[in-house]
Chain A
Amino acid sequence: MAPRNAAKATPETERAETGAEIQTSAIEQDVAGGTPPAPLPEPDAQVDPRESALAALVMGHAPQPVVTADTVVEVDESNVIDFGGRSKGVVLFSRYNQLVDGGFKQARKGDVISTDAENLKRGVKIGALRKLADADGTVE
């Protein structure tokens, strides 16, 4: 009998007495202009990445949007496409477009191109290109 009485006693303790201060939830306090709500818990590093990716997708606040540029690209430096320069970069986007001497040129993802320093810098800034080291190992 004792456990049953104990179970019944639990809701009794939550009932507010007349005149007693009522504990409000964080959201209610926020609306009432009181203390700020408790911060959201930090994402657990052990969470399944697929689950967190799905959560990020459905919640719409992906901390780092998964763009095509993040995928691993195999680099084949045997075939360098000339884009009017000597600075080499590998294409990370699905396509890389550039106007070369007034003409339109396009490279596919994974292609290695040699372009001028200005376009390489812009491509790296956008995330379309990754800078490749020269033959002597130095990065321009």
Chain B
Amino acid sequence: MTTLAYPAGAPSTSGETLTVNRALKSPTFLAKRIVQPNTQFLSELLFRPGTTESGAVIYSEGSIDNIYPSRGDVQQIEPGAAYPMVDVDETGDKVALSTKHGAGYYVYEEAEKRNNFDPIAKGNMKVRNALLRQDAARCLAAFDAKVPTVNATGAWTAPKFWKQDLMRGKAQIKGLQLGFAPDSVIISPNTETELLLLDELQNLLPREDASRNPLYNATLTGLLSLNWIVNEFASDDDAILLQTKVTGVNITENPFRVKVVPEETRGRKVVLADRWGVPVIDEPGSALVIKGIMG
């Protein structure tokens, strides 16, 4: 006996054949193909999440220069005596605007009919890379614009300087006495390579433990109790020390999404991928840009 259900259930697919036609009818499937779980936007990795409905976000930026009163101080107060007043040094709120960044590509009906996946595979890859690059560029530009800078004591290609700069940097951030605890450092792949090639590192790490010997396990994971974020868009000459989820907020108006718009008059479909938002650094004191690490 057959049973009739209303509304009809979800469509089922038979076989394992993935067709261009099916992919174009599933924008969420395409979205997962474009930004996979193992590729992450730098802004999402570094900053805490935030949202906006209006497209604008008003935020107050933590001060790093005037955290203690420049006039007045806490004093012992005699009974009935006046309290010493301190300057407030108020600054206005700041505004950041959420913007839409995206890209698209065409899939022509010829590719759809012939089940040619090349346009989708190439389009997905280029859109993904462009989105990640653009997001990283915005994040890194925000660091350059707002975060305190310090010079490296020496090129990190020589021993000891990388430890010196990172530990001093951590101490400098903690020295602000604002409760910041930097936990991550952003470096470029070239910088990572230079550090891994340091003889000092091989000599310091236990050779008997294959999981920690850089010869067998070529990562910087766990060194100096820092989370090493290697980003291909970071500058070779800079290292950015920061406290993730504290330094900034990643304002998202619309999360990453994919639309497929048919253009039947031209015999093609347009795959559009975009995300709306803006990364904002509101606690610049919790980060530090170390410049000149390669010379």
Contact = CB atoms under 8 A, between A and B. Distances in A.
Nearest to B288: A94
B134 interface: yes
B283 to A, nearest CB: 15
Nearest to A27: B104
Contact of B292 (A58, A106, A125): A125
A128 B291 contact: yes
Contact of B164 (A58, A61, A93, A99): A99
Contact of A65 (B99, B141, B168, B292): B141
Nearest to A122: B292
B141 A68 contact: no
Nearest to A62: B141
B169 to A, nearest CB: 9
Interface string A36-80: 000000000000000000101111111001111100000000000
Interface of chain B: mostly helix, strand, loop or mixed: mixed
Interface string B130-169: 0000110110111011001111111000000000110010
B97 A93 contact: no
B106 interface: yes
Between A54, A58, A66, A128, the greatest number of chain B beta carbons within 10 A of the residue's beta carbon is seen for A58
A38 to B, nearest CB: 18
Contacts of A104: 153, 164, 168
Interface in A84-140: 93-99, 104, 106, 122-123, 125-128
Contacts of A65: 141, 144-145
Contacts of B172: 95
Contacts of B295: 122, 125
B282 to A, nearest CB: 14
Interface of chain A: mostly helix, strand, loop or mixed: mixed
A97 B167 CA distance: 12
Contacts of A93: 148-151, 291
Interface string B24-63: 0000000000000000000000000000000000000000
B144 A66 contact: yes
A56 B142 CA distance: 10
Contacts of B135: 60
A57 B164 CA distance: 31
A60 B165 CA distance: 27
B278 A94 contact: no
Given A93-B291, A97-B168, A104-B168, A66 B145 contact: yes
A60 to B, nearest CB: 4
Contacts of B151: 93, 95-97, 123, 126, 128
Nearest to A54: B97
A6 interface: no
Interface of A: 31, 54, 56-62, 65-69, 93-99, 104, 106, 122-123, 125-128
Interface of B: 96-97, 99, 105-106, 134-135, 137-138, 140-142, 144-145, 148-154, 164-165, 168, 172, 278, 288, 291-292, 295
